[in-house]
Amino acid sequence: KWGDKLFSDAPDFDHATGGDAATADRVFGENTDGMELFVIGDRQVIAVNHEYVNPKINLPHTEDGKPQNAGDVKKLQNLQGVAVMEVEEGDNGWQVVVDSPFNRRITHNTPMRLSGPAAGHELLKTAADPSGAASLGTFNNCGAGKTPWGTYLTCEENFNGYFGSTDEGFALPDDFKRYGIALESRYDYEKFDERFDISKNVNEPRRAGYIVEIDPSDPASTPVKRTALGRFKHENAEVVLSRDGRVVVYMGDDERGEFLYKYVSNGTYTPGGSGDGLLDDGTLYVARFNDDQSGEWLPLTPETTGMELAEMLVFTRMAAS
């Protein structure tokens, strides 16, 4: 449950304070969603999402859960993301293995790598990351998926709610309106963490809304945002292999009136082999349903959308429309 230790250096949970702020990334986080189990040698490891927080409970010292300082914001950021933890069965049933070398918290501040066709594009560059290939954090992690090569896919869903503007006169770009990014955020991050202030870092929200791949077997590995799988409010990532061995990922956009997608890799997967590059090089499709209950998959490519590939992947919703 929320506040349970993943590491012994975290203090016991205190309901009166909503938990220790300094060690919020050393305990089990808030509000779980997508989950997968991995057998790694003779160990069993669970990866589970922490989609959102309840600030009135997490920050009981504040008025209506509104952060008062950067420390409050950091606490909320560290209670969300993903937990990776080893579990084992003992006399009292299944329990977390505290201090397991596999235990890990991935939060809104964890270093990430952007990969695929959109990585390095101007739309993804910021002052903190002029390369456009390294970001921080994964957001509003909803459903999940599991690859044949043993990695975890976590889905960034309603990422728009984390960004706002300290400038009330900031003119929202068209793509912000399409993705639901507004002048006010859900958690007031922008008031104390400039990274989430769209009037100062207009590209930062464009670095969220992806499928993130995590290797649960290597706690030192860097999570990877797979831009080839598109940018929208990802609900899930169901991975299957086609008859010819290509990797197919079925995905939904969890908002009314949006679309279903599939990604098909160009390369093929060999059972027991590596998945390197298979989620970076392929074609993204959007489903079109007809009134007669038939349907078809439409490829989202430069030829069909009139957009360059990297731009199309950043603005997937707009391209699909």
- What is the pLDDT tens value at each position of the chain, 321 positions in all? 999 999 999 999 999 999 999 999 999 999 999 999 999 999 999 999 999 999 999 999 998 999 999 999 999 999 999 999 999 999 999 999 999 999 999 999 999 999 999 999 999 999 999 999 999 999 999 999 999 999 999 999 999 999 999 999 999 999 999 999 999 999 999 999 999 999 999 999 999 999 999 999 999 999 999 999 999 999 999 999 999 999 999 999 999 999 999 999 999 999 999 999 999 999 999 999 999 999 999 999 999 999 999 999 999 999 999
Task: Report how far residue 78's alpha carbon sits from residue 59's, in angstroms, rounded to the nearest whole number.
Answer: 13
Residue 289 pLDDT = 96
Task: Report how far residue 249's alpha carbon sits from residue 272's, in angstroms, rounded to the nearest whole number.
Answer: 19
Task: Report how far residue 43's alpha carbon sits from residue 39's, in angstroms, rounded to the nearest whole number.
Answer: 6
DSSP 161: G
* Contact residues for 145 (Cβ-Cβ < 8 A; gap 6+): 34, 36, 152, 153, 155, 211, 236, 237, 238, 239, 249
* Contact residues for 102 (Cβ-Cβ < 8 A; gap 6+): 40, 43, 45, 84, 85, 86, 216, 217, 219
Task: Report how far residue 171's alpha carbon sits from residue 267's, in angstroms, rounded to the nearest whole number.
Answer: 42
Task: Report how far residue 248's alpha carbon sits from residue 281's, in angstroms, rounded to the nearest whole number.
Answer: 12
Residue 63 pLDDT = 87
Which one-letter amino acid corresponds to residue 264? V
Complete DSSP assignment for 221-290? SPPEEEGGG--S-B---EEEE-TTSEEEEEEEB-STT--EEEEEEEEEPPTTS--TTTTTSEEEEEEEE-
Residue 101 pLDDT = 98
Give the predicted TM-score (pTM) of the model. 0.97
Residue 77 pLDDT = 98
Cβ atoms of residues 85 and 96 within 8 Å: yes
Nearest to 141, CA basis, from 66, 213, 229: 213
Helix, strand and coil percent figures for the chain, each rounded to 5:
20, 30, 50
Residue 229 pLDDT = 98
Task: Report how far residue 188's alpha carbon sits from residue 68's, in angstroms, rounded to the nearest whole number.
Answer: 9
Residue 63 DSSP SS3:
coil
Task: Report how far residue 258's alpha carbon sits from residue 37's, in angstroms, rounded to the nearest whole number.
Answer: 30
Return the number of other C-beta atoms located less than 10 Å from residue 291's C-beta: 5
Ramachandran category for residue 310: left, alpha or beta (phi over 0 → left; psi -120 to 50 → alpha) = alpha
Cβ atoms of residues 45 and 216 within 8 Å: yes
Residue 70 pLDDT = 97
